[in-house]
Structure 1
Amino acid sequence: MSSSGKPLPSTTLPRLPIMTFGEPWPDLNDGLTYRDLIPPPHAGLTVIEYYSKKYKNSAPVQGWLQRIKNKQIKVDGAVITDPNTILRAGSELVYHRLPWKEPHAPYLLEVLFEDNDLIALNKPSGLQVLPGGLFQQRTVLSQLEWRANKGTSSCKQPHAVPVHRLGRGTSGVLLCAKTKLAKSCLAAYFADGTSAVGNESCNNARFNSTRKISKFYRALVNGIIDQDQVVIDQPIGLVKYPGVAKGLYVASASGKLALSKVSILERNVKNSSTLVQVEIQSGRPHQIRIHLSFIGHPLLGDPLYVAGGQPSCFDPEFIDESFAQDGDLRIQFQGTADIICMHISCFLLTPLHMSRSRLSHHFPLFCRQRRKSAEVDIGNEPMNLSV
């Protein structure tokens, strides 16, 4: 109230300052080193026989010959140039993959909350959490390591580690443990819900209200979903997929049970799209993408999954690396990794023993804005952030 008794005009409380960290990516990564100890059954094979048989998906025979010629392979510490070198049981075989330029990925990470045990980040879309495939350095894990070591990985100081995964195309809240105890506890909390679902049959699938951690995602999907709430319990399993050695996860009756609860937030009839919030009980790979496509409403921008929870014929995210003239592996496509922009975000995560605590990440309505904001709060009171 003012001195005259009239109410003061309402004001918007200032946002807490956004705290970010991140080092720009080097042009080339450090390459990779692969080690093999030769078991007795493989004794007597030549180097080229061993690699071309065991790792035929990595490169054709001429690829391995080129790597040997480039002096990228050692046997028991000595560089070899003869592809017909005979291997002995117990020998150590080392292949050094040359450094390469990884596809584009954002590097700045926003800090939502941090204390002595954990740090909660707002992971941007396009950034991979852990090393894999084409992305060995451009990951959240690398940035956490560089942060602890002040921009370098040479000191090897203890650093925070992610305790769960978000897909590369998914943005939102990512919890990382800073201590062994926190890592153990958080990992157990995340596993609690998944293991509970894994022990249920499809007919008995239900949501566990006593879970210590709940995860909510917001996504924009194709088409109009008529029901206000949908529970999906379609199992998810691996099938063979061209170019993916380990196979691809799809909706499969022989797979593991997965449970998702979909709530409708808004329907846009004009654009034939629906904004949904998804709570997942289990944590199967690509679960939300598969489940929403299974009911006929795939994510907007998803290049892989189509109606029925099955893969389309092409997805740049899963293209295998191809052999190049220098004998190393290079990306065959240009720019396709940069345009993957699925409309999904890990919006809300309620962690630990504080029932009223929550870490939330605002998802722009119908994804009209690529830039995202974030907030952390307990109940209705903002939480102070410390770095």
Structure 2
Amino acid sequence: MLCTTTSPLNSFGSPWPDLNDGLFYSDAVSTTSDSGLTLIHFYSSKYKNSAPLQGWLQRIHNGQITIDGEVVKEPKAILRDGMELVYHRLPWREPDAPYLLQVLYEDDDMIALNKPAGLQVLPGGLFQQRTVLMQLQWRASKGSSSLETQGSHPVPVHRLGRGTSGILLCAKTKVAKTSLAAFFAEGTSLIGDSSNTNMEQSKRRKISKIYRALVNGILKQDKIIIKQPIGTMRYPGVAKGLYVASASGKPALSKVEVLERDSQLNQTLVQVEIESGRPHQIRIHLSFIGHPLLGDPLYDVGGQPMCFDSEHEDESFAEDGGYERPAKPVPGDCGYYLHAHQLVLSHPTTNEQVIKITASLPPILRTQAETEELM
């Protein structure tokens, strides 16, 4: 049984407050590693990616850290086993972000959204409130469906980059979450299994994702299969490392098909089907073959960042004590043109229904024929 959805069912979203609620981070002092350390040593060593030494000193002097419920402003206070530490990150104004989300498909198990470019999916970095997850939580708290009033809290089961628009799948039950996560994981794991032919892999996959992208330059081949592995490298402003094309990385596979070439503007409109789900895979793969996404501020030819040189350690800090925003581009920066256009999957709980979801294309990612059809 095939279910196809092409038009949004409805939209939802609440405007962002000027300031978020801030955050509270709790720690317990353990005998083995933390007992006997000073307060400043504990935070500046354990959370050095959050702020430089002087930034942590400012936070302590500002009364943002408590020990067993009491504010402590002495950086050299000695920690003892069993103490409870809490750091209060003060409320801040997050960068501008859209908030409206279109519902493309919804049933008792899952919801598919059309995410706008510029909206982050999950909390991270400067974006702790202005996320898809927060809008889903606000929607659930309003009891917009009978299931949600019973305590269901939809959560995204995969990610789209902040600058990427299009289909985002979210689970509304634990069973659906487990199944959908398995669908995505299975697709990625099959890429590393050389014993399977492409035909066998296609039959086994329970989810298929097709994107639209606009790239620099003119692709000569009509169809390209990219199998470049993706790994990480050290990069300023990205604590866990930047994902890049790497011979020692994990297997990844993208199928690229040219839809339209524009010689005058020196750009190509492509369709990309990804059979694995590595972070920033499409951006990395297309730049690896010499055609970075148009407007991508980060990835350059070869699937590497535009800036290779290692930034010297910057001990300056922002008003809240944290590091200043990196001078170099980071993965969350927007400006490129990438859209999750179509998704086909087996239903996560029944497996009997095949669902095809389509998110309408931004004008810049339409072919000339598609544009004329809408006139």
TM-score by length of 2: 0.84
Query: Which structure 1 residue ranges, 5 or more long, are not aligned?
Result: 1-14, 315-319, 374-387
Please name the residue that 1:135 is paired with: 127
Name whichever of 37-46 and 65-74 sits farther off: 37-46
The aligned counterpart of 1:357 is 355
Deviation string for 1:90-147 (max 9, x for gaps)?
A: 3222111001111111000001111111111100001111111111110000000000
Judging changes above 3 Å, is the alpha-carbon distance between structure 1 residues 329 and 100 closer, same or farther for their aligned structure 2 residues?
farther
Check conservation: 2:209, 2:273, Cα contact below 8 A. Answer: yes
Secondary structure of 1:240 counterpart:
strand
Which structure is higher in RCO with an 8 Å CA cutoff and minimum separation 6? 2
Match of 2:238 among 225, 244, 255: 244
Distance 2:52 2:115 in 1: 37
Q: CA separation in 1, counterparts of 2:156 and 2:128?
A: 15
After superposing on structure 2, the runs of 4+ consecutive aligned residues of structure 1 that deviate more than 6 Å are 336-339
1:368 shift after superposition = 7.5
**1:361-376 alignment runs, 5 A limit:** 361-364=359-362, 366-367=364-365
Alpha-carbon distance in 1 for matches of 2:111, 2:142: 17
Higher-Rg member (1/2): 1
The answer for the alignment partner of 1:60 in structure 2 is: 52
Shift of 1:86: 0.6
Q: Write the deviation string for residues 210-234 of structure 1: whole angstroms up to 9, x where unpaired.
A: 2111001010101111111100000
Counterparts in 2 of 1:16 and 1:217: CA distance versus 1, 3 Å: closer
Whether 1:126 and 2:118 are equivalent positions in the alignment is yes
Aligned to 1:34: 25
Q: Please give the alpha-carbon distance, in whole angstroms, between the structure 2 residues aligned to 1:107 and 1:310.
A: 31
- Alpha-carbon distance in 2 for matches of 1:66, 1:307: 42
Alignment of 1:260-339 (within 5 A): 260-313=254-307, 323-325=317-319, 327=321
**What's the secondary structure of 1:42's corresponding residue?**
coil
**Structure 1: distance between partners of 2:303 and 2:175:** 38
Work out the CA distance in 1 between the residues paired with 2:116 and 2:15: 15
Residue identity opposite 1:61 in structure 2: L
SS in 2 for 1:105: coil
Structure 2 unaligned blocks of 5 or more: 1-5, 309-313
Provide the C-alpha distance between the structure 1 equivalents of 2:41 and 2:88, rounded to a whole number of angstroms.
18
Distance 1:206 1:310 in 2: 28
CA distance in 1, matches of 2:253, 2:13: 35
Cα deviation for residue 270 of structure 1 reads 1.4
Return the match for 1:259 from 253, 257, 261. Answer: 253
Does the 8 A contact of 1:262 with 1:276 survive in 2?
A: yes
Match of 1:221 among 199, 215, 223: 215
- How many residues in Structure 1 have an aligned counterpart in Structure 2? 345
1:69 aligns with 61
Counterpart Cα distance in 2 of 1:330 and 1:156: 43
Q: Deviations over 1:328-350 (max 9, x none)?
A: 567588xx999822111001000
Q: Partners of 2:339 and 2:47 in 1: how far apart?
A: 36
CA 337–108 in structure 1, closer or farther in 2 if over 3 Å, else same: farther
RMSD: 2.9
Instruction: Say whether the 8 Å CA contact 1:103–1:338 is kept in structure 2.
Output: no
Change (3 A) 1:329 1:308: closer
